[in-house]
Amino acid sequence: MTSADEQATRSIAVLVAQEGIEQVELTGPWKALVEGGWDPVLIAPDAGEVQAFEHLDRADTFPVDRTVADVTVGGFAGLLLPGGVANPDALRTDTAAVDLVREFVEGGRPVAAICHAIWMLVEADVVRGRTVTSWPSLQTDVRNAGGTWVDQEVVTDGSLVTSRKPDDLPGFNAVVLDVLAAVG
């Protein structure tokens, strides 16, 4: 394996909209990935920066590494979907982003979604027949999409890892790292 191939297998796509990302749901898993030896890559529909929030208040901005149009599933070992209400709500209207999520899941690569990010999995039609968790207000969306919703800190269904909220980040991060370790 060449060093470029090895780097690609250590890269994790972190897909967000341009605005509305819950900052701790981006920075907490990002830090865990880096400490676990992974290379997170921030991907958004447009180049430039993305705006994170601490609930409803503007927080930090982060530079976009690559745009959705410039990436393929093959360049990544897995996918992280941070939450925040506005983030996945905006992102799920981007057809290319939804297609990318579907390709990750259908390709069997690890996909981790926290809180409201489950909307991306619902929109990609990949929760049917799966057991997942999310922010509680989204359980009807999951059920309507054919999934089983449970109220647990972290749920793993195959290569899909889901979690409910920022308080669950320690458990979520640990499980995500375990799932990634199994593939790479």
Range of 14's domain?
A: 3-112+168-183
Q: Tell me which H or E stretch contains 78.
A: strand 78-81
Whole-angstrom distance, CA of residue 52 vs CA of residue 152: 26
CATH code for the domain in which residue 102 is found = 3.40.50.880
Whole-angstrom distance, CA of residue 53 vs CA of residue 183: 32
State yes or no: is 106 an active-site residue. no
Q: Does some domain include residue 48?
A: yes
pLDDT confidence of 184, banded at 50, 70, 90? confident
Catalytic residue among 86, 113, 115, 176: 115
Q: Does some domain include residue 156?
A: no
The letter for the amino acid at 90 is: A
Q: Does some domain include residue 44?
A: yes
Structural domains in the chain (count): 1
Q: Does some domain include residue 162?
A: no
3 has pLDDT over 60:
no
What average pLDDT does the segment 140-165 reach?
A: 98
pLDDT confidence of 58, banded at 50, 70, 90? very high
pLDDT confidence of 8, banded at 50, 70, 90? low
Cα end-to-end span (Å), the chain? 13
**Candidate from 1-5, 162-166, 167-171 with smallest mean pLDDT:** 1-5
Whole-angstrom distance, CA of residue 79 vs CA of residue 12: 6
Q: Does some domain include residue 73?
A: yes
**pLDDT, tens digit, 9 for 90 and up, residues 73-111:** 999 999 999 999 999 999 999 999 999 999 999 999 999
Residue 137 neighbours by CB under 8 Å, 6+ apart: none
Whole-angstrom distance, CA of residue 172 vs CA of residue 156: 10
Q: Does some domain include residue 151?
A: no
Q: Does some domain include residue 142?
A: no
pLDDT confidence of 2, banded at 50, 70, 90? very low
**What is the reported pTM?**
0.95
What pairs with residue 61 in β-bridges? Answer: 51
